[in-house]
């Protein structure tokens, strides 16, 4: 994107690729924002850290961003990645864990979700302070449910994300908006629950920032528990990579 922009500038082209990408990012439907995000934000990042395409090699050898938070906010001083180990298990017969659906979404996903329903300025501020996250997937016959556990650099960062995400809910028009709610797990962690009411009502969140458990409790007629554990261990790096 950056090299194409410089080529367009040098040859007198009408619109650079980065500007085109910005226009597309503003105009595409919400469901395509994540697909266009890497091109839009990647181009912005290169433009902010490079003076010329001759310096492109340095992006891949010097101070490579360790997360999309650092890519989104290259001038922000606090983009330290948090080594958090996330684990989950389910012992219930009705809701089963779909391990293949687990994913680390990252700060760019936070930015995209908030951009779609609040605006880019609010999204930019609320995606600062991201430290780690993990999405856990559950299925019950033809239904899916998720717990998205996010971890933040500070309590203020967690508050800002929770408040921004809650503000998106009245602005959403999708059919599943009524199945989404936000819960807290300690000062630094925010959990987004997405699924049918019986799933969300059965979730109990215990613990603080160093050891957080979200437990899918047994119902009155259900004798089996399932547990999603989020264990913060600064000595163990997240095995699934960085978001």
Q: How do residues 124-154 score in pLDDT, each as one tens digit? A: 999 999 999 989 888 888 788 888 989 899 9
Q: Yes or no: say if 105 and 136 are a contact pair by the CB < 8 Å rule.
A: no
Residue 70 has pLDDT above 60, yes or no: yes
- Is the model's pLDDT at 109 over the cut of 90? yes
CB 238 within 8 A of CB 83: yes
Q: What pLDDT, on the 0 to 100 scale, is given for residue 212?
A: 63
Smallest Cα–Cα separation from 101: which of 68, 165, 145?
145
Output the CA angle 126-129-132, nearest 5 degrees.
Answer: 110
> Whose structure tokens read 């908030």?
114
Judge whether residue 62 has pLDDT over 50: yes
Residue 103, exposed/middle/buried by CB under 10 A (0-12, 13-18, 19+)? middle
Please state, in angstroms and rounded to a whole number, the distance separating the CA atoms of residues 187 and 14: 49
Crossing angle for the helix pair 2-11 and 33-49, to the nearest 10 degrees? 70
The answer on pLDDT for 159 being more than 70 is yes
What average pLDDT does this structure show over 52-72? 84
Q: With 0-12 CB in 10 A as exposed, 13-18 as middle and 19+ as buried, what is 63?
A: exposed
Q: Residue 227: what pLDDT?
A: 33
Q: What is the mean pLDDT of residues 201-216?
A: 66
pTM for this entry: 0.80
pLDDT at 235: 27
> What gap in Å lies between CA 54 and CA 210, rounded to an integer?
45
Locate the domains of the chain by residue range: 2-64, 85-231
Residues 77-87 have pLDDT tens digits of 666 767 766 66
Return the pLDDT at 240. 35
Average confidence (pLDDT) over 31-49: 87
Which pLDDT band holds residue 213 (cuts at 50, 70, 90)? low
């Amino acid at each position: 994107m950056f090299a194409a922009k410089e080529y367009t500038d040098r040859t007198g082209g009408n619109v650079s690729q980065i500007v085109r990408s910005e226009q597309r990012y503003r105009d595409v439907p919400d469901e395509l924002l994540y697909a266009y995000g890497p091109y839009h934000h990647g181009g912005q990042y290169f433009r902010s850290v490079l003076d010329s395409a001759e310096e492109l090699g340095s992006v891949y050898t010097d101070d490579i961003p360790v997360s999309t938070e650092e890519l989104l906010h290259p001038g922000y001083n606090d983009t330290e990645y948090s080594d958090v180990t996330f684990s989950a298990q389910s012992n219930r017969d009705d809701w089963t864990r779909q391990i293949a659906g687990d994913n680390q979404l990252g700060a760019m996903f936070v930015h995209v979700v908030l951009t779609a329903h609040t605006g880019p300025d609010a999204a930019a501020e609320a995606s600062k302070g991201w430290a780690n996250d993990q999405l856990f997937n559950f299925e019950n016959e033809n239904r899916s449910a998720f717990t998205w556990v996010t971890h933040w650099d500070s309590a203020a960062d967690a508050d800002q994300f929770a408040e921004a995400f809650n503000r998106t809910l009245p602005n959403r028009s999708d059919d599943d908006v009524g199945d989404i709610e936000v819960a807290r797990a300690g000062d630094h962690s925010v959990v987004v629950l997405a699924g049918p009411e019986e799933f969300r009502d059965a979730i109990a969140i215990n613990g603080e920032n160093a050891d957080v458990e979200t437990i899918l409790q047994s119902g009155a007629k259900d004798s089996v528990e399932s547990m999603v554990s989020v264990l913060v261990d600064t000595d163990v790096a997240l095995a699934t990579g960085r978001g």
